[in-house]
Structure 1
Amino acid sequence: MFTIYVYVLDTLADWEIGYVTAELKSGRFFKEDAPSVSLKTVSDSKEPVHTMGGLTIVPDCLVEDIVVSKTSVLLLPGANTWNAPSRGAIMKKASEFLSFGAAVCAICGATAALAGIGVLNQRPHTSNGPGFLEMISPGYNGQSFYIDKPSVWDNNLITASSTGALLWARQIIAYLGVFQADTLEAWYEYFNTGKPEYFFALMQTLPSGTES
């Protein structure tokens, strides 16, 4: 079973995690033999978090409750509050994940937080532009590893720009192996293009009786 820890913080960018959390929580397009997935919101305290869109999230657990294993995944969403001193604990945990071989998936402002601890200096990655990382994270020197794409998957590290939420979700789902390949392709093309033929192709990849 995979445990997906979604770090939540004030001003969290709701839309950036919407695709991936909705699919992993609902399991509506999972293949028949997909591993089970548990989603947990995690934060620095149990105090309610208020997203950029005005939603209130009460964290399920604390950063110190995170169990690092090969079946753990850490999702780090964008937010305007990544520079708060309290983020040090989750960054230490992210470093532990990567060293252990567990997956860290960061988007938008969270990539700058990773850059700030040197994680991106020697690994392929993306963000909102190398200039963004240089501006936000003075210690960043991974320009030669920067890839100008919406989302970049490098083994157990998946990074994305603020416009890369859909591709980021696709890569995370592929990493977990919970969709059939044809389901994932049709799912991505439908949400990427809006063309109805991909919706019907998506439905045709599902076992009978599981369409939603």
Structure 2
Amino acid sequence: MFTIYVYVLDTLADWELGHVTSELNSGRFFKKGAERVSLKTVSYSNEPITTMGGMKIVPDCLIDDIVVSGKSVLILPGANTWDDPKHCAIIEKAGELLSSGALVCAICGATAALANVGMLDTRLHTSNGPGFLEMFSPGYKGQNFYIDEPSVADNNLITAGSTGGLLWAKQIIEHLGVFESNTLESWYAYFSTGKPEHFFALMQSLQPGKEN
């Protein structure tokens, strides 16, 4: 079973996580036989955090509780507080997870935190547009690996800009292999266009005998 660790911190950007956490936690479109995942919020302390939208989240566990294994996934959301030194521990843990082959997913401000410690210097990645990482990450030297797309997957590292949450979610789900491929394509097409034909294709893909 995959364990999805979602790092929570003050000013967390609520909208960036909605698609990926709801689909992984609910399992509503999982393919037949796919294991449900365990989704846990994690932080540097047990104290509640307040998201950008004013929601209070009490972490389920602490950084030291994260198991470093191929079945662990770390999700790092955007926030305005990533430059606080107390988040150094989770960035160090992200490095351990990447080295072990575990999946690390960072979006928006979290990409700047990875860039600042050199974690994006030799990996394909993206962020909030060209120039963003240079502005917010003095240690960044990965310009040659930057791709100007909403979300970029490079093996077990998936990065996205603040408006790339939907594609980021798609790439994370694809990496985990919990959707049938036609279900995932229909899901992405529906949520990115709103066209009803994609919704019906999504529903049809869940019927017995429709798997790819």
**Range into which the TM-score falls when normalised by the shorter chain:** over 0.9
Give the letter for the 1:13 counterpart. Answer: A
Are 1:2 and 2:7 counterparts?
Answer: no
Give the Cα separation in 2 of the matches to 1:42 and 1:170: 22
Paired residues for 1:22-33 under 5 Å? 22-33=22-33
Q: Which residue of 2 aligns with 1:83?
A: 83
Deviation of the 1:33 alpha carbon: 1.3
Q: Over the residues paired in the alignment, what is the CA RMSD in angstroms?
A: 0.7
1:180 counterpart residue number:
180
Aligned partner of 1:198 in structure 2 is 198
Listed as ranges, the gaps of 5+ residues in structure 1 are none
Q: Aligned to 1:81, what secondary structure does the other structure show?
A: coil
Distance 1:84 1:75 in 2: 18
TM superposition shift of 1:130: 3.2
Q: Look up the SS of the partner of 1:121 in the other structure.
A: coil
Show the counterpart of 2:73: 73
Instruction: Please give the alpha-carbon distance, in whole angstroms, between the structure 1 residues aligned to 2:179 and 2:122.
Output: 31
**How many Å separate the matches in 1 of 2:40 and 2:150?**
26
- 1:57 is matched with 57
**What is the Cα deviation at residue 36 of structure 1?**
2.3
TM-score of the two chains, using structure 2 as the length reference: 0.97
Q: Percent identity?
A: 73
Quote the offset at 1:189 in angstroms. 0.2
Q: Match for 1:71: what amino acid?
A: K
Aligned to 1:152, the other structure's residue is in SS state strand
How many residue pairs get aligned? The number is: 208
Q: Structure 2 stretches of 5 or more lacking a match?
A: none
Q: Structure 2: how far apart are the matches of 1:69 and 1:81?
A: 28
Give the letter aligned to residue 159 of structure 1.
T
Per the alignment, residue 35 of structure 1 pairs with: 35
